[in-house]
Amino acid sequence: MFDGGGAQGAGGFDMSNLLAQAQAMQSQLMEAQANLESAEVEGTAGGGMVTALVSGTGELLSLTISKHAVDPDDTETLADLIVAAVRDASENAKELAAEAMGPLAGGLGGGMGGGLPGMPGIPGPPGQG
């Protein structure tokens, strides 16, 4: 039976310390998400003939097409260049997000074992494992 022993749980587990860490991680995560939303990432195709600009969250912000990429008799190539530039920019945004969020996401339940229902990695009271 769990006796409620203050902030200390079974086995010396400090719930208040865990909650403080979770709040700090949440704050860092929100800051990283805000930074990603304001970040701008570029992708190119065709040796720079088409450039796509996306936000750090992957939203397409602008598209620049060189006049040398426009051939009225070959719009398929232009379309392919546009898709490639947007894809490149999106991949760059994903990499930026992974760099920004990686250290934070790694701390969400990783390596602690056990868990409350719906809260992986956060041990529950004894007998409710």
pLDDT one-digit tens code per residue, 31-77: 888 888 888 999 999 999 999 999 988 889 999 999 999 999 999 99
Calpha distance 92→77 (Å, rounded)? 22
Q: Do 86 and 14 meet the contact criterion of CB atoms below 8 Å apart?
A: no
**Torsion over CA: 48, 87, 97, 41 (sign):** positive
Calpha distance 36→100 (Å, rounded)? 8
pTM over 0.75: no
What mean pLDDT is predicted for residues 98-103? 78
Calpha distance 86→41 (Å, rounded)? 10
Q: Is the pLDDT of residue 129 over 80?
A: no
Phi-psi region of 48 (alpha: psi -120 to 50; beta: other; left: phi over 0): left
Task: Tell me which residue of 14, 67, 59, 18 sits closest to 41, measured CA to CA.
Answer: 59
Q: Do 43 and 86 meet the contact criterion of CB atoms below 8 Å apart?
A: yes
Scanning the structure block, which residue is given the tokens 């056990």? 114
In this structure, CATH architecture of domain 10-107: 2-Layer Sandwich (3.30)
Scanning the structure block, which residue is given the tokens 């860092």? 28
